[in-house]
Structure formats: C-alpha cells, structure tokens
Amino acid sequence: MDRQLTSPLLITPLGPPTKLSASQTFHQLNTFLQTLPSSPARTQLERLADSLGVETGAIAPSEGDRREADRRAKKAAARLERRQAREALEREMEVDGLEHQVEGLEGDGDGDEDMEEGAVAVEGEQGMDDRGDVEYGDLPEDEDDDEPDNDDERIHEEKE
C-alpha cells in the first residue's frame, strides 16, 4: 500500500485537446441536458447551464431567475402531490382499520359471550395466542448477578 497502483483503464487521447469557451460549454451542456431524465443531477446541471448562459449573455438574468422559480414551483407541486397521496392512503388505512374494529365489535355469535372474564379463546392455527399483559413481579425471582439490588442483599447477608 506504499506505492500508487496503476489504473487498469488507460485513456488515450484521440486528438489534440481543445479549449471550449463559456458559450460553447453552455450550448453543449444544453444539448446534453435534453438527454438526461429528471433527477437532482439534471437540476444541478440546469442551474449550471443557466449561470453559464447568463455569464455569456445567451440568456437574460431575468430568464435565469424565471427558470429557477419554475424549478422551485415544480418541486413544491411534486411535494404537495406526494403529501396528498400519502394523506389519502393514511385516511384509507384508517377507514379500513375502523371497519375492521366495527366488524370485531359486532361479533358473529359463536359462543364467545359465555366465556368467563379473563379466559383465553384459541382459534386454531390462525388465532393469536393471547396470554395477557405481563406485569411487574410476574416473572420468577432469579438470582441475577448483573442486578445491583441482588449484590446489596448478598452484602447484607454476608455481614450478618
């Protein structure tokens, strides 16, 4: 790792390098932008092309500002559309959940009413195994070495 490794890709020039002017770069960048799909990279390249166009005089400064305002408006519209779609989906899920709860409250009269309070109904393999809530103190008291309370009790027992 002490020395620089040689690159497996060798780039050989096809001709002498030519220096592009700002206006040539602007026109080539605009041509290239037409082939790109909509993405954050395209937006950044559009902004670069706009600034090059303003610098070279190909577009007016007000045109560059208008294009930026259009980009912001499109972004806000897309954001609003996504938000509305998400809210519609949440409302739909909420309505489905309420309908499911209402169906559960109506019951189907299969004898669940005569069960004692606290009894657990088991419905084959599809049903959930409901064992109730676990409360503090339900678990058996084990001697855990990592519990600081147990260390204190042992110390007191050893002293006596």
What string of pLDDT tens digits covers the 160 residues of the chain?
578 777 777 888 888 888 888 889 999 999 999 898 888 888 899 999 999 998 888 888 898 889 899 999 998 999 999 999 999 999 988 888 877 777 767 655 555 555 556 555 555 544 455 566 666 665 655 555 555 555 555 555 555 5
Query: 138 lies in a domain?
Result: no
3-state secondary structure 85-151: HHHHHHHHHHHHHHHHHHHHHHCCCCCHHHCCCCCCCCCCCCCCCCCCCCCCCCCCCCCCCCCHHHH
Query: 37 lies in a domain?
Result: yes
Query: 34 lies in a domain?
Result: yes
Count of domains observed in the chain:
1
This prediction has a pTM of 0.46
Domain that holds residue 39: 22-104
